[in-house]
Amino acid sequence: MSKYKAEIIAVGTELLLGQIANTNAQWLSKRLADYGMNTYYHVVVGDNLERVTATLEQAGKRSDIVFITGGLGPTDDDLTREAFQRLSQQQLVEHQGSLDKITEYFTKNNRHMTPNNRKQSLVFQDAHVLANDVGMAPGMIVEYNQVLWVFMPGVPREMKAITDHQVLPYLDKKLQLNAVIQSRMLRFIGIGESQLEHHLKPLIDAQHNPTIAPLASEGEVAIRLTAKANTKTEALQLLDQAESKVQNHVGDYFYGYDEEVIQEKVVQMLEHNSMTIAAAESLTGGKFTDTLVSVSGASNVCKGGIVSYTTDVKQNILNIPKEIIIQDGTISEACATLMAQNVQKTLNTDIGISFTGVAGPSEVEQQPVGTVFIGLYHQSGKLIVKKFNFQGDREAIRNRAVKKGLELIYQFCQMDNKWV
């Protein structure tokens, strides 16, 4: 398996300003993993000669292969070549094939070629030149100070084409990589990160290959399994073995793999059970229904929703008795119960779900910010209402309420329509 440490450096002030996302590093890391190469560092540096030079110098001390994207264009702020020349003292020369291609482009398009465009054809004298079939500036691979330096344009489609068609085949042959890294994401809901980690502690403490990494996101958690092997088949077998052990510990909370999201799973399960749903939403303001209908095929299960943000809508549209509102309040188990029951009847569905609570910024009806009641009612008469106390700002509380509602529906479908 690969023993080489890789580093990816993206050059461009626009990345630091947040004007462009550094998608190159994400994509390149995944492709390197396919060849069993470990990416140890992602670095972004602006268009400054001193800083780019210092960044390259640091990379050369800690990595075996350094991938640099960006800074190969024609303008004064394209400084990657100049920075590496400072570091290595290697001579830059015009690559005739690249210069001819650049010249031909301007001629074909009846445009005047300014002198600075010649800069794009410059390569280091002893470089292995990487032809750019979808752009102008060529890439190149340079060996210096026992490090392989791979220079590529920052334009994503150019970088990807050069990587797939030239860089990876070159490295695979030269370094005899003969290894792969495969990852699998296991997604869980209804269990917190600390609780999940507690259950998996024996596996995490003993991990080697595959590695086990818990990851938290809003309202759910995930486990990333990563295996290294000489072939993809061997790596997948290692992942299967590790997943089996994880599932034995926390399988009750598992809902999907990789890029799957809980709303997709909920729509699938409702459709499988031939059930329809409607929502009555107060604090979530339609966010739950919007999340559900963002899934392809949701029209088969979601009939609609009622945004009952104000008290008079709860009374006049959802038929919540005035006595309940006076006695229990709109933020209560009683109100959540009737909201779920009445939206189910009004829209003639199998399930009604309700959301009422306090998202902030201040308390309502003497209920603190973060108090949320979620009701779930099935036409058979089965009912559950739960109270939650969510932390975070207004938007976080609303998002967590939606995620919890999806969790309750998922659990209901899993339990064959029986409450525990």
Between 34-38, 151-155, 200-204, 406-410, the lowest mean confidence (pLDDT) is in 34-38
Name the least confident of 54-58, 124-128, 204-208, 268-272.
204-208
Extract the tokens encoding 236: 């997948």
Q: Which domains, ranges and CATH numbers included, belong to the chain?
A: 5-175 (3.40.980.10), 180-257 (3.30.70.2860), 262-414 (3.90.950.20)
Q: How confident is the model at residue 176 (pLDDT cuts 50, 70, 90)?
A: confident
pLDDT grade for 271, boundaries at 50, 70 and 90: very high
Confidence class for position 236, pLDDT limits 50, 70, 90: very high
Q: Give the helix ranges, DSSP H, for 17-63.
A: 23-34, 49-62
Rounded to the nearest 5 percent, the helix, strand and coil shares of the chain are 45, 25, 30
pLDDT for residue 420: 36
| pLDDT beyond 60 at 325 | yes
What integer pLDDT is reported at residue 23 of this predicted model?
Answer: 95
For residue 417, pLDDT beyond 80:
no
Helices and strands, number each (H, E), in the chain: 16, 17
Flag whether pLDDT at 411 surpasses 70.
Answer: yes
* pLDDT, position 253: 94
Structure token digits, residue 405: 């509602």
Instruction: Please report which confidence band the pLDDT of residue 110 belongs to, taking 50, 70 and 90 as the band edges.
Output: confident
What CA–CA distance (Å, rounded) separates 84 from 349? 66
Q: Does the pLDDT at position 1 exceed 50?
A: no
Instruction: Give the pLDDT score at 25.
Output: 97
Pairing state of beta strands 65-69 and 302-307?
Answer: unpaired
